[in-house]
Amino acid sequence: MRLGSPLSSFSNLHVAGGSDGVAYTDKATEIALLECHCVLTEVFGHSGYKGKQKAIIEAAVRGADVLVVAPTGMGKSLCFQIPAAAAKSGITVVVSPLLALMQNQVESLRRKSVPVASLSSETSALQKQEVRDDLLSGHPSNRLIYITPERLCTSDFLHLLDGVHAEGELNRLVVDEAHCISEWGHDFRRDYRRLSMFRRRFSSVPIMALTATATPEVQADIIRSLQMSEDRLYRALHPFNRENLFYEVQYLADPDPASQMAQIFEYITTLYRRRKRPSSGVIYCRTRATCSDLSQYLRAKGINCKPYHRGIPSNTLDKTLKEWTIGGSGEGGVDVVVATTAFGLGIDKSDVRYIIHYDCSRSFEGYYQETGRAGRDGLPAKCVLYYSRQDARAVQSWVQNAKEARMEQDGPPPSQRSTQSLAALFKFAESIDVCRHVSICRYFGEDINADDAETVRRYCNNMCDICKYPEKTRRRIRKLNTDVPLKLEAPCDSSSRRSTTDNARGWKMNENGRVSRDPPAIAHRTSTGTSGPRSFGMTKRAGAEGDKAQAIAKKAKVSYAPAIVTKPFASTSSLNKPFKTPFRTQSKNPAQPVPPRPPSPQPGLASTSDTEEVEFVEDEDTVMNAAQDTAAEVAMMPSSMDVPDIVVELDASFSGKIPMDARLRGFNDIRRALHVMLILDPRKDKSWAALDASHLSAPSREGIISAAAKELEFSAMSMCSTQNGYRERVADTTTMIRKDVPILLSGVGLRVEDEEGPQDIVDVMKRLCRSHLTRVGQPGAA
């Protein structure tokens, strides 16, 4: 039987005997799996499957919906690339969140001669037309197409898929980094939430969702959001433990960039000496400025490294990524990349020997995913987190502020998730009694008895500082400046607390207390209105019709993440109040000026007394009160309703991508938000002073606001491909102007400078102010 012919009835399919739990009674499925194994060995060059790859690929071949939750390095991409490449006909649509991720995987597949295409903002017009023609034929020659979620949801692309689906050649939808779809996830993205329309439109096409970081709540939300069929769903839940990674926390008394950079340099060079050669590594920093400063410092010291963040031109980033993939031993290679958190997502580089976090990640999931990029070859690798109370306090303020900015009236409980995730990361860092491997796996729902030495040994075997150097770790943590108060609890009511028992239930996933290891036996169903599949990769799932569709659409009952109980701040009660629409009332009590913070100690100099340490660290109530006053003033800024629209000539006005009337509305929405902040707000003078332009005249200020609105509107337009995407980007920009930028300019306790979006807006304003002052020839006046 030809591999590309339809599979016979599913009614006789089941998983039977065999040492690995896999034996196939259906001849077509057996042939399909043999073809997949040939692709694994001959195309991808692997001698065998890893972990649950074989079972996942079997479930995919049979037409099941598949949820894959597995740590970085397991080889999740192969789970959909192999069935797609082995198919004799049809195409797999892969939704991917990052252009760098798409580009890396597409180039890798092309080197292996797998027919693949991508559609993104970086795809040339000629290539787009070639992809379009291929899909219009109804019999695409490409086996995979990588696409952003925004483009997938456009009517034009969906129309192209209609024709492919009518020919029975729409094989599968793959949602990579699927945690982005969940409001419970640490990296929620609005465009991902719209992917449920795919199931409604193409009910017979199976869906595969993959992620490295999904708690039980996130898993349930992914299944519900994508409308995956519970009765035809195979869950592949890999253990979260990475036993070859050595986890270590380096505690800092107070932030001292010069001393910390020297420590990192010493750490890297010591590793080089021990291995007798340079090693590949990644250093993560939250801010662009830190990335650039640290990279420059290390290069000056002779380390072959480069920075990687969104402030660098894309062609330079591509070059850096290729050089790092080659490695320092290759011509023009790079050993170390100093990057913001977006770097490395989905990058296929197996020999990363260390991951260093210069500062704290914004979530536990983010930390786990970033460290998971080390040691993907199975060899030992090190993961080092530099941790101080001051830095933890800063990122906590940022996360809390970002959460409040996203909340809406009667908003969903998942908005609580970010603060709980961060609190769990702080507890992980400050705990010196529980093995770090155990702490990580417990967070993701595994039920582990940490008092059982043999159990802990199986998870860790002295691969963390707590287990290998318990006394040294206890000495190190004494460096922490405990005078700096840190909120280790994310305020929530009792309904949002999850017990350890709930964790265990979420991990075990079934009544008999074991993780399901085998793909389900899938009964054959017929999809109406479409022809049968032309290849094993297109085995159809049943359409979600009638009562079953309603059952799938019902909101699953989920429990929330565990809360760490400690004394809450006085502001806790305010978080339970409904969010009120801003710009409606005037402030009755203007904020009192905040006393200036004493300068930081000089590098290498320790505080000489408890009094000096107390003076250096602001009192908790002072910081919180100042931050609350600032947030209250932002919420009480004047309304923008009275700012009239204006008509201007926008950049790239020749582009027909977004209608001009829509662009003018977007421009005026942004201009009004800037006008409120910089003209109508009582604190406008302070904002202009923060922009180094306090002496600008009123007409000059209006001109700069309009110029900034034009630039920000053009940025929104250039980074989208649909009107819906454009409107969302404009809305995000105006929200940042209203919520984040004023707090960023105020310079008090709530910090948002670690968020690139608001900082980008401030950078645009500062650059336009400098340009204007230079042009008029009167720096500081106009």
Rounded to whole angstroms, the Cα distance separating 236 from 517 reads 7
pLDDT band for 342, please (50, 70, 90 cuts): low
Average pLDDT, whole number, for the chain? 75
424, 359, 364: which is closest to 392 by C-alpha? 359
Q: Considering the domain boundaries, does residue 498 fall inside one?
A: no
pLDDT by residue (tens digit) across 656-676?
A: 778 888 899 999 999 999 988
- pLDDT of residue 694 exceeding 80, the answer is yes
End-to-end C-alpha distance for the chain, whole angstroms: 81
E strand or H helix that includes residue 454: helix 453-459
Going by the DSSP 8-state scheme, the letter that residue 719 receives in this structure is T
Last residue of a domain, one of 488, 508, 537: 488
CB 144 within 8 A of CB 81: yes
Nearest CA to 525 out of 15, 63, 208 is that of 63
Note whether residue 659 is domain-resident: yes
Cα–Cα distance between 544 and 553 in angstroms, integer?
10
565-576 b/e with 16+ CB inside 10 Å = b? eeeebeeeeebe
Supply the CATH number for residue 21's domain. 3.40.50.300
* Dihedral pair phi/psi, residue 667, rounded to 5°: -60, -45
Which pLDDT value is given to residue 223? 92
Q: Which residues pair with 387 in a beta bridge?
A: 251
For position 85, what pLDDT does the model report?
96
Please compute the mean of the pLDDT values over residues 191-216 and round it to a whole number: 88
Same domain, 383 and 271: yes
Highest mean pLDDT pick, 318-332, 392-406, 433-447 = 433-447
Closest CA to 632 of 666, 591, 690: 591
**Bridge partners (DSSP) listed for residue 281:** 336, 354
Please give the residue that has the higher pLDDT: either 250 or 605. Answer: 250
- Lowest mean pLDDT of 3-7, 202-206, 360-364, 489-493, name the range: 3-7
Taking only the tens place, the pLDDT of each residue in 250-278 is: 999 888 899 999 999 999 999 999 988 89
User: Please, which pLDDT band fits residue 736 given cuts at 50, 70 and 90?
Assistant: confident
Q: Supply the range of the domain harboring residue 181.
A: 10-240+520-553
User: Which 8-state DSSP code applies to residue 531?
Assistant: P
> Is residue 686 classed exposed, middle or buried when 0-12, 13-18 and 19+ CB atoms within 10 A define those classes?
middle
Contact 556, 224 (CB under 8 A): yes
**8 Å CB contact between 467 and 456:** yes
Would you place residue 634 in the very low, low, confident or very high pLDDT band (cuts 50, 70, 90)?
very low
DSSP state of 702: H
Identify the pLDDT of residue 326.
Answer: 82
The SS3 of residue 283 is strand
**Residues 274 and 129 occupy one common structural domain:** no
Question: In the listed set 447, 467, 488, which residue is the last one of a domain according to the structure?
Answer: 488
611-626: pLDDT as tens digits: 222 222 233 333 334 3
Check whether residue 351 and residue 296 sit in a common domain.
yes
Alpha helices (H) in 93-181, listed in sequence order: 99-111, 125-136, 149-152, 155-166
The more confidently predicted of residues 348 and 162 is 162
Kindly report, residue by residue over 768-782, the tens digit of the pLDDT.
998 888 887 765 444
Structural contact between residues 286 and 395, judged by C-beta atoms closer than 8 angstroms: yes
Chain-centre distance for alpha carbon 601: 35
Q: Average the pLDDT over 209-228 and give the result.
A: 88
Query: What confidence score (pLDDT) does residue 779 get?
Result: 53
Does the structure show a pLDDT above 60 at 594?
no
Q: Which of 501-515, 534-548, 751-765 has the lowest mean pLDDT?
A: 501-515
336-339 and 305-308 strand pairing: parallel
> What integer pLDDT is reported at residue 684 of this predicted model?
86
Report which of 84, 95, 91 is spatially closest to residue 119, judged by C-alpha positions.
95
Check whether residue 220 and residue 303 sit in a common domain. no
What is the pLDDT at residue 184?
A: 52
Measured between alpha carbons, how far is 81 from 96 in angstroms, rounded to an integer? 13
Residue 620 resides in a domain: yes
Same domain, 478 and 426: yes
Does residue 567 lie within any of the structural domains? no
Q: Measured between alpha carbons, how far is 600 from 54 in angstroms, rounded to an integer?
A: 56
pLDDT value of residue 346: 52
Q: Could you give the 3-state DSSP secondary structure of residue 269? A: helix
The reply to whether 620 and 649 lie within a common domain is yes
**Is the distance from CB of 695 to CB of 782 less than 8 angstroms?**
yes
Q: Is residue 118 part of a domain?
A: yes
Task: Answer with the residue of higher pLDDT: 302 or 584.
Answer: 302
Output phi, psi for 247, to 5 deg: -95, 135
Name the band, by pLDDT with cuts 50, 70 and 90, for residue 404.
low
Q: What is the pLDDT of residues 474-525, one digit of tens each?
A: 999 999 988 877 766 544 333 333 333 333 333 333 333 333 434 443 333 3
The pLDDT-based confidence of 728 (bands split at 50, 70, 90) is confident
Q: Is 556 helix (H, G, I), strand (E, B) or coil?
A: coil
- Rounded to 5 degrees, φ, ψ at 460 are -120, -55
| Band of residue 738 on the pLDDT scale cut at 50, 70, 90 | confident
Does 590 or 258 have the greater pLDDT score?
258
How much of the chain, in percent, has pLDDT values that exceed 90?
35
pLDDT of residue 648: 81
Based on the fold, state whether residues 666 and 724 are members of the same structural domain.
Answer: yes
Residue 503 domain flag: no
157-194 confidence digits (pLDDT tens): 999 999 999 999 999 999 998 887 765 555 566 677 78
- 204 and 309 part of one domain: no
Could you tell me if 473 and 587 lie in one domain? no
Give 347's pLDDT tier (boundaries 50, 70, 90). Answer: low
Tally of domains in the chain: 3
- DSSP letter at 286 equals S
680, 582 in Cβ contact below 8 A? no
Higher pLDDT, 585 or 667: 667
Is 97 domain-assigned? yes
Tell me, yes or no, whether 23 and 134 share the same domain: yes
Residue 448 and residue 592 in one domain? no
- One domain for residues 264 and 389: yes
Beta-carbon contacts of 673 under 8 Å, excluding residues fewer than 6 positions away, are 640, 733, 734, 737, 738
| E strand intervals along 388-487 | none
For the stretch 8-17, contacts whose Cβ atoms lie closer than 8 Å and that sit 24 or more positions apart, written own/partner, are: 9/524, 10/62, 10/63, 10/521, 10/522, 10/523, 10/524, 10/525, 10/539, 11/523, 11/524, 13/62, 13/521, 13/522, 14/521, 15/58, 15/518, 15/519, 15/521
Residue 547 or residue 139, greater confidence: 139
| 521-528 contacts at long range (C-beta below 8 A, 24 or more positions apart) | 521/10, 521/13, 521/14, 521/15, 522/10, 522/13, 522/62, 522/63, 522/64, 522/232, 523/10, 523/11, 524/9, 524/10, 524/11, 525/10, 527/203, 527/204
**Given a cut of 60, is residue 761 above it in pLDDT?**
yes
| Average pLDDT of the residues in 432-456 | 91
Most confidently modeled of 369-378, 457-466, 533-542, 650-659?
457-466
Give the C-alpha separation, 690 to 323, whole Å: 39
Q: How far apart are CA 386 and CA 88, in angstroms?
A: 50
Tokens, residue 637: 């800024």
- Strand-pairing partners, residue 207, are 173
The verdict on residue 509 lying in a domain is no
Please say if the pLDDT value at position 292 is more than 60.
yes
Which pLDDT band, with edges at 50, 70 and 90, does 113 fall under? Answer: very high
* Rounded Cα gap, residues 10 and 29, in angstroms: 10
Encoding tokens for residue 417? Answer: 């998730």
Percent of the chain having pLDDT more than 70? 69
The C-alpha atoms of residue 411 and residue 422 are separated, in whole angstroms, by 20
Tokens 């978080």 correspond to: 575
Cα→Cα distances 326→57, 280, 315, 321, 352, Å? 30, 10, 17, 9, 12
Q: What pTM value is reported for the model?
A: 0.57
